[in-house]
A and B are shown apart, each in its own frame.
Chain A
Amino acid sequence: VPADRKRVRGPEESQCPLLFLPPAAQTAEPREPRAGRGNGEVRPLFARCGLVSQAKGSSYLEAGNTKILCSVYGPREPERRDEAGVRSGRLLCDLRLAPFSCGKRGAWIQGSGERDLSLALSESLHPAVCLHRYPRAQIEVNVMVLENDGSVLAHAVTCASMALADAGIEMYDVVLGSALRQDGGASLVDPDLAEERGNWLAGYEENRGGVTLSLLPNLNQVSGLHADGELRADTLSAAVRTCMESCHKLYPVVQQAILRAVKRKAPPPEK
């Protein structure tokens, strides 16, 4: 591998200090039931639109400690030309985790996990955007996760759809994301990072897994569904229903944030 000359580089190898905890501290403590909120409750959501001055639209979202910033550029002239782009626009999504956003320091170069998240984000947003109104143009959605405390994909979807609305991109509906962690009998909505990772150390019981769903609330269409783990079919359906419900809970917050930005940008037009 040729040396990366485009960055200031540190030593060849370095380790996260958490790997050197004394053995006593390393054993996983039994997980307590989530503090401060019920299993079906989402974390308080803080959302603002229009913070990035250079972008056509932007939004910032905080759910617990998960912090996400998104900016939207375009519609603008595409860099790559192909036939598909002539009649309808292209939606490009890029999701990055800041190097300091996770417990372990992340790499500078986008990893396959981030590429997978970018693809999932793109597939979840696509059905909502009226791309046929933007022939020969591309719309860029850039998402930066500043701090990852679980349910990143779900919140990235919500955040990105707010930024698209803020950018005045025509959409059929807003997109709301919601995540759920199934741990045996417990369904934890909007899991934090510890809850998300909980199951791997928890043992070998069945019916554990994660579900992330994106919903177009007004059209009642599911634009994204991702699940992994090991779920019974009935649990999966129940999880999908629960996720849809918690998406609806987000709607007023998202609506308020978008409208506040509309009002700030311009007073009501003369009749």
Chain B
Amino acid sequence: MATVQVSEAEKVYIMHGVRDDLRVDGRGCEDYRHMEVETDVVSNTDGSAKVSLGHTDVLVGIKAEIGKPKPAVPNEGYVEFFVDCSANATPEFEGRGGEELGVELSNTLYKVFNNRHSLDLRSLCICPGEHCWVLYIDVLLLQCDGNLFDAMSVAIKAALFNTRIPKVQVSEDEEGGKEIELSDDPYDCMRLDVTNVPCIVTLSKIGHRHVVDATLQEKACSVASLLISITHKGLVTCVRKLGVGSLDPDSIFEMTEVRNTGTEHPVQTHTRTHTHTHTYIYISEHYSYFFI
């Protein structure tokens, strides 16, 4: 992953700041950086979105293509992820470096969506056992300034919301063969239900506390972080400890468990991030109509 060099003294400064709930850029431990979401940014995709989080920039494009359902689940379509770590983002991504990170990121995305409710894959079925829609979700990292996962998940959710899949007509000819006809009308299209699409919240452990949305400098001070992908209902679809350090069991419970204390709990706040995201993606979508 993209890294920056930080001297020991800078690390000490950052860590003490986290302890005092005042990060270098003035944020508290649970504040995100200012985020911008824009949908419908690539015209030759079926759905797209660009998210900027601090200086992290992620572009997601979605293409829907007709394919054959997987034999195990004949009445569902499926999703393919590809993460391209552009050498534009950091010179470290040149050659194999970017490829390795790309595989790691896309493997995690598969895990995040490895459940039955994130996307209703049945709605992607055209003709059970024969034809289905395959969603190719391409993620392009344009700039890395920490917290790729969270930015990526928001961008994917926004792009899925933005996706329009042409309606299809399946007709049977005399010999029993099936014909698929795509609707010509660009407005006659299917939209995806993104209510249950999870958002990723990455908590980085710095000293004895954890922060959300760590910058690259903060990441250098953290030996372990916990990635949690969560739906608006508070269901966890993926957890992954990242990094070379270990976590105290209590801090894991603190990060994941709902407790009846006066303070707002991380899961609730994750859920709120989620709602925020949802609202903004929604607004963004409608906003974009003004420009058309």
Q: Interface residues, chain A, CB within 8 Å of chain B?
A: 19, 112-113, 115-116, 119, 123-124, 126-128, 200-201, 204, 206, 208-209, 211, 216, 219-234, 236-237, 240, 244
Contact = CB atoms under 8 A, between A and B. Distances in A.
Contacts of B267: 233
A237 B257 contact: yes
Contacts, number: 112
B137 to A, nearest CB: 16
Contact of A233 (B112, B226, B236): B236
A244 to B, nearest CB: 6
Given A112-B107, A225-B240, A227-B236, A233 B117 contact: no
Contact of B236 (A219, A222, A236): A236
A228 B226 CA distance: 13
B114 A225 contact: no
Given A204-B117, A233-B257, A226 B249 contact: no
A228 B238 contact: yes
A172 to B, nearest CB: 9
Nearest to A197: B72
Q: Which 9 A-B pairs have the closest CB atoms?
A: A127-B246, A227-B239, A221-B246, A126-B244, A230-B115, A223-B246, A228-B111, A116-B107, A225-B241
Interface string B243-256: 11111110011001
Interface residues of B, number: 39
Contacts of B116: 204, 208, 230
B258 interface: yes
B241 A222 contact: yes
Which residue, B116, B238, B239, B253, has most C-beta atoms of chain A within 10 A?
Answer: B239
A228 B239 CA distance: 6
A225 B258 CA distance: 19
A123 B234 contact: no
B242 interface: yes
Contacts of A224: 241
A233 B248 CA distance: 18
Given A112-B103, A115-B107, A226-B111, 9 more contacts: A126-B244, A209-B115, A220-B248, A221-B247, A221-B249, A227-B236, A228-B112, A230-B236, A230-B237
B188 interface: no
A232 B241 contact: no
Contacts of B242: 123
Nearest to A211: B239
Contacts of B234: 232-233
Given A19-B71, A220-B249, A222-B241, A230 B235 contact: yes
A198 to B, nearest CB: 13
Contacts of A233: 234-236, 256-258, 267
A127 B245 contact: yes
Interface in B23-65: none
Contact of B241 (A19, A112, A226): A226
Given A222-B247, A223-B246, A228 B258 contact: no
B238 A227 contact: yes
Contacts of A244: 249
B113 to A, nearest CB: 9
B71 A226 contact: no
A112 B258 CA distance: 34
Contact of A228 (B237, B245, B257): B237
A221 B248 contact: yes
Interface in B104-140: 104, 106-107, 111-112, 114-117
B6 interface: no
Contacts of B252: 222, 225, 240
A229 B72 contact: no
B248 A232 contact: no
Contact of A216 (B238, B240, B246): B246
